[in-house]
Chains A and B, each alone.
Chain A
């Protein structure tokens, strides 16, 4: 994924972006290359990601979307159980909302 690929603020393309980031992360850290990822996939239970992996994901999100998306702030607003239950879909929605807000301003 190149930072030069134009960013579109729709669910489908954001899901494609995030699926790509997670695939990179799972392969780099755990050597996994066949994990299926969809909107209902949970970071904790399904992908077995640790919180330090989410720090790496925050870096990939920033590379892709710049300051328009702040993953750390998004998670800082949640309680512990919400983070455990966090799905890819909820992150996709947050990214789409943030990108649209940035476009509008």
Chain B
């Protein structure tokens, strides 16, 4: 556990096992409600460590094993936590940021706030915080709160019957988080970015989307707006592309990090 100022956060850190010094730090940020750092720990993290990276994973406030304050769940709170965490871990140089779903929104927000501390950003099934993002998240969270958190037995029976035992257990955790905290109200009320903010992110950005996900249609928009942006659409997957196609996703991220490290070294030489 690491004291990140306002909250205590559960952190896992791994790196090269052969004693080599790490070449760079990559920070992995997970998604909302049912997610935790485990989505990275058992998927891409071992390969990133083997590739020579210092890998930092943490549970967002309220999630996984991190502390769960009753309030303080806007996007800015999450960016503050990330900032405090990296300071506390004494990671001062630029980092490669990877975010899954809402984690990508946090990662992008961090890069907007601290352009000098972001070496690259990878958005997995994710988007920057815009006006329409806030409206969409508001709709999803409203359904979680009204249909799940306040009508839990019926909702869980339906989920168990239609989506299976495992999804129902995840939903139970999500319902608890929505009931015990102001997350459902806070996230849609977050301060959002303008297109100028988004255009100002100069580091290499990669968008990874599942071909069958609604979010895949964001790929051309993101590429048109962010100066140095590439996107990868993985066919046959939806929102869980990180966990289901972790080899493909991890490989694309390592290529991004290589490219970004090369660009930085080139810029330093000039």
Question: Residue A55 at the B interface, CB < 8 A?
Answer: yes
Contacting residue for B42 out of A44, A45, A56, A83, CB 8 A: A83
Please, what's the 1-or-0 string for B142-181, where 1 marks a CB less than 8 Å from any CB in chain A? Answer: 0000000000000000000000011001100100000000
Please, what's the 1-or-0 string for B6-48, where 1 marks a CB less than 8 Å from any CB in chain A? Answer: 0000001010010000000000000000001111011111110
Which of A44, A72, A75 has the most chain B CB within a 10 Å cutoff?
Answer: A72
In the complex the two chains form, is B169's CB within 8 Å of A72's CB? no
Contacts of A58 in B (CB 8 A): 41
Question: Residue B65 at the A interface, CB < 8 A?
Answer: yes
In the complex the two chains form, is B243's CB within 8 Å of A54's CB? no
In the complex the two chains form, is A75's CB within 8 Å of B42's CB? yes
Contacts of B47 in A (CB 8 A): 76
Contacts of A36 in B (CB 8 A): none
Contacting residue for B46 out of A70, A80, A83, A84, CB 8 A: A70
Question: Residue B227 at the A interface, CB < 8 A?
Answer: no
In the complex the two chains form, is A76's CB within 8 Å of B43's CB? yes
Please give the distance in Å from B27's CB to the nearest CB on chain A. 17
Contacts of B169 in A (CB 8 A): 48, 50
In the complex the two chains form, is B243's CB within 8 Å of A55's CB? no
Measured CB to CB, the nearest residue on chain A to B57 is A55
The answer to whether A72 and B37 touch (CB under 8 A), given A44-B166, A45-B165, A80-B243, is no
In the complex the two chains form, is A52's CB within 8 Å of B64's CB? yes
Chain A interface helix/strand/loop/mixed: helix
Contacts of B64 in A (CB 8 A): 52
- CA of A73 to CA of B55 in the docked complex: distance in angstroms? 14
Question: Residue B246 at the A interface, CB < 8 A?
Answer: yes
The answer to whether A52 and B46 touch (CB under 8 A), given A80-B243, A80-B244, A84-B166, is no
Measured CB to CB, the nearest residue on chain B to A51 is B38
In the complex the two chains form, is B166's CB within 8 Å of A54's CB? no
In the complex the two chains form, is B244's CB within 8 Å of A72's CB? no
Question: Residue B59 at the A interface, CB < 8 A?
Answer: yes
A-B contact pairs, 8 of them (CB 8 A): A44-B166, A51-B36, A51-B41, A55-B12, A55-B36, A55-B42, A70-B46, A72-B42
Residue positions of A touching B, CB distance < 8 A: 44-45, 48, 50-52, 54-56, 58, 67, 70, 72-73, 75-76, 80, 83-84
Report the 5 A-B pairs with minimum CB-CB distance, sorted nearest first. Answer: A51-B38, A75-B42, A52-B36, A73-B46, A52-B64
